[in-house]
Amino acid sequence: MSYDPNNVFAKILRRELPCVKLYEDDLTLAFLDIMPSIEGHTLVITKEAAEGILDLSPEGAAALIKTAQKVTKAVKKGLDCPGIMLVQLNGAAAGQSIPHIHFHILPRAGGIDLKLHGRGMVDAKTLEPIAAKIRAAL
């Protein structure tokens, strides 16, 4: 996989595709996944054009992890979940399906299973009440 400037996340960054935004700064963007594995499934992306962690500048990596930590705290607090799973995949062989570096933030609670990612789309109206809880915790 090589960086494709027309990938879904690049289009979101250019405002060609919508997202349910949670947080944005000069270097990163966080939004709810429209094909969630679990309620509150959040994505944090860099604005830098980088496929994976090895392609990202040290400054971009620092900004990405800083935002991931900030948003993870808000997901945990806003959704009142006891655990968080943080996932970052590099390359198709690792399961990365969009060639733009990103973190998945997955709220976890005992006994609640994850659905397979990318199997069903959720509309923005369904995601907005979840987003409001997370935004309130930022």
- Within 10 angstroms of residue 137's Cβ, the number of other Cβ atoms is 16
Q: HSE-up of 14 (CA within 13 Å, CB side)?
A: 9
Full DSSP string of 46-109: ESS--SSTTTS-HHHHHHHHHHHHHHHHHHHHHTT-SEEEEE---SGGGT--SSS-EEEEEEE-
How many structural domains compose the chain?
1
Q: Could you give the count of Cα atoms lying within 13 Å of 58 in the half-sphere of its Cβ?
A: 0
Contact 105, 42 (CB under 8 A): yes
Question: Does residue 114 form part of some domain?
Answer: yes
Inside any domain, residue 63: yes
d(Cα 61, Cα 54) in Å, to the nearest integer? 9
Q: Residue 53: what pLDDT?
A: 95
Separation between Cα atoms, residue 40 and residue 77, nearest integer Å: 12
What pLDDT does residue 1 have?
A: 53
4-37 tens-digit pLDDT? 999 999 999 999 999 999 999 999 999 999 999 9
Question: How far is the C-alpha of 26 from the C-alpha of 55, rounded, in Å?
Answer: 19
104 is catalytic: no
83: CATH: 3.30.428.10
**In tens digits, what is the pLDDT along the chain, a chain of 138 residues?**
568 999 999 999 999 999 999 999 999 999 999 999 999 999 999 999 999 999 999 999 999 999 999 999 999 999 999 999 999 999 989 989 999 999 999 999 887 777 666 667 888 899 999 999 999 999
* Catalytic one of 41, 100, 102, 104: 102
Domain with 46 in it = 8-137
Domain assignment of residue 3, yes or no: no
- 78, part of any domain: yes
Residue 49 to residue 11: CA distance in whole angstroms: 12
Assess if residue 130 is contained within a domain.
yes
Residues sharing a CB contact under 8 Å with residue 5, sequence separation 6 or more, in sequence order: 49
12 located within any domain: yes
Yes or no: say if 5 and 13 are a contact pair by the CB < 8 Å rule: no
Asked, for residue 55, whether it belongs to a domain, the answer is yes
